[in-house]
């Protein structure tokens, strides 16, 4: 069953906070839900489908539906890390096309900054019951060094340089300066990125994302409902998902699951990378962006370094504007899961509601991609193609 044109994103809301010591995670979920519904011009009584990931407190949908007093006929708690919320949009479109619901609400929220947790600076505390855990725990695998391995391997195989990776942070900072809610609003240079402390060779501090509280929500609806609302129409054109793992040790550190999820989304949407005017891609680290852009087909494998260099990702300067809100590298990264914010900025771009300094002229097709997990090990990938109607 194709979802092309079967559902629209009618509401989108990003929580303005980057630190919320006075709010619970459940409260943040409820606040972003109300924000997205208000943006769509709907109420909580209109919602008949609810989607959340592993960030939801308690028993996920069971707890959150009671907390928000929602009565729905369809739920989905797919949890593939930071790519969950991108997958949820596709799942919501499928549910709507199948008649399972008419108005789907998707929420994300968390407070890792207030809780004092950080992203990638301590060994991962996975469930000991996981079959992979005993084989990895003794090595002290961290998010940071797991991605550093990918960067080092990409440099070894293709001659990618730290200077090229730094350009990704530079582009993000050019965009973040216009976002009043961004955690890091100062424009940085390649030299400043390279001068920042080395965290895990070859990744410097400024190659890494921020850690923030916050959240966001989306409302996905049937076409008839979307057209009845006084909001710009953002159509779901295609979606793809994939899970990549170590395959018994036969793993390519320079390739992500985006190879498969991206191809599926493009095929369903009936477009190519050349048609895309704006990309929102997960940016836990600079190497994450580079690998994903290659795997999604915006440049050949191994040429990502040259592709991202010299401002090519800066809106108004380069040919492929990315993460125009500053992304996880500069704006926010709630719950260590950046997929939701990627959809939100893509919706703003397609609606023409991004900051005027970074708004892509004539933005009609946007790609959203997220990675959940570690690209050097096991991870989920989800890709969306959205179109302004």
pLDDT digits (tens, 9 = 90+) for 203-242: 999 999 999 989 999 999 999 999 999 899 999 999 999 9
pTM of the model: 0.94
Residue 127 is predicted with a pLDDT of: 58
Average model confidence (pLDDT) across the chain: 93
Q: Using DSSP bridges, classify how beta strands 278-281 and 198-200 pair: parallel, antiparallel or unpaired.
A: unpaired
Mean pLDDT check: name the lowest of 108-122, 263-277, 365-379. Answer: 108-122
Task: Give residue-wise pLDDT tens across range 341-358.
Answer: 999 999 999 999 999 999
Per DSSP, what are the bridge partners of residue 11?
219
**Model confidence band, residue 161 (pLDDT cutoffs 50, 70, 90):** very high
Q: Tokens representing 62? A: 């069971």
Other CB atoms within a 10 A radius of the CB of residue 371 amount to 30
Residue 89 is predicted with a pLDDT of: 98
Mean pLDDT check: name the lowest of 5-19, 77-91, 161-175, 245-259. Answer: 245-259
What is the C-alpha separation between 373 and 100, in angstroms, rounded? 29
Asked whether the predicted pLDDT for residue 389 surpasses 80, the reply is yes
Mean pLDDT check: name the lowest of 115-124, 285-294, 358-367. Answer: 115-124
Comparing 376 with 340, the larger pLDDT belongs to: 340
Q: Smallest Cα–Cα separation from 261: which of 374, 378, 350, 371? A: 371
Give percent of the chain with pLDDT exceeding 70. Answer: 93
Looking up tokens 């592709």 gives 307
Give the residue-averaged pLDDT of 140-167: 94
Residue 166 is predicted with a pLDDT of: 98
| 3-class DSSP string for 324-353 | CCCHHHHCCCECCCCHHHHHHHHHHHHHCC
Task: Give residue-wise pLDDT tens across range 91-145.
Answer: 999 999 999 999 999 999 988 888 776 554 544 455 555 676 666 667 777 788 8
Residue 82 is predicted with a pLDDT of: 85
What is the C-alpha separation between 220 and 217, in angstroms, rounded? 10
* Domains, in order of start, for the chain: 7-114+213-234 (3.40.47.10), 140-212+238-388 (3.40.47.10)
Residue 22 is predicted with a pLDDT of: 93
Task: Give residue-wise pLDDT tens across range 176-195.
Answer: 999 999 999 999 999 999 99
Looking up tokens 């159509």 gives 235
Comparing 375 with 41, the larger pLDDT belongs to: 41
């Amino acid at each position: 069953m194709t979802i092309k044109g079967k559902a629209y994103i009618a509401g989108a809301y990003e929580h303005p906070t980057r630190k919320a010591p006075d709010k619970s995670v459940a409260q943040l979920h409820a606040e972003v839900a109300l924000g997205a519904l208000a943006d769509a011009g709907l109420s909580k009584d209109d919602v008949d489908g609810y989607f959340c990931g592993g960030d939801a407190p308690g028993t996920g949908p069971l707890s959150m539906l009671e907390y928000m007093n929602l009565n729905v006929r369809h739920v989905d708690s797919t949890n593939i890390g930071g790519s969950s919320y991108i997958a949820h949009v596709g799942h919501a479109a499928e549910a709507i096309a199948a008649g399972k619901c008419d108005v789907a609400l998707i929420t994300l929220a968390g407070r890792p900054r207030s809780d004092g947790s950080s992203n990638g600076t301590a060994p991962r505390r996975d469930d000991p019951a996981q079959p992979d855990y005993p084989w990895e725990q003794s090595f002290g695998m961290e998010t940071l060094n797991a991605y550093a391995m990918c960067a080092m391997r990409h440099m070894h195989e293709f001659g990618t340089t730290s200077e090229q990776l730094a350009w990704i942070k530079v582009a993000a900072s050019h965009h973040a300066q216009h976002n009043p809610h961004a955690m890091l609003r100062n424009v940085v240079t390649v030299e400043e990125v390279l001068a920042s402390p080395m965290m895990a060779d070859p990744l410097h501090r400024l190659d890494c994302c921020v850690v923030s509280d916050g959240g966001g929500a989306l409302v996905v609806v049937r076409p008839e409902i979307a057209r009845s609302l006084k909001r710009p129409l953002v159509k779901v054109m295609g979606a793809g998902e994939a899970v990549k793992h170590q395959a018994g040790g036969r793993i390519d550190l320079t390739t992500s699951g985006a190879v498969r999820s991206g191809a599926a989304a493009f095929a369903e949407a009936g477009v190519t990378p050349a048609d895309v005017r704006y990309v929102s891609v997960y940016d836990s680290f600079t190497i994450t962006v580079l690998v994903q852009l290659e795997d999604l087909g915006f440049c050949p494998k191994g040429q990502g370094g040259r592709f991202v260099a010299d401002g090519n990702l800066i809106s108004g300067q380069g040919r492929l504007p990315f993460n125009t809100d500053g992304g996880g590298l500069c704006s926010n990264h709630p719950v260590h899961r950046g997929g939701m914010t990627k959809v939100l900025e893509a919706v703003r771009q397609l609606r023409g509601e991004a900051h005027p300094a970074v708004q892509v002229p004539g933005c009609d097709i946007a790609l959203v991609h997220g990675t959940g997990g570690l690209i050097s090990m096991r991870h989920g990938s989800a890709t969306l193609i959205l179109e302004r109607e």
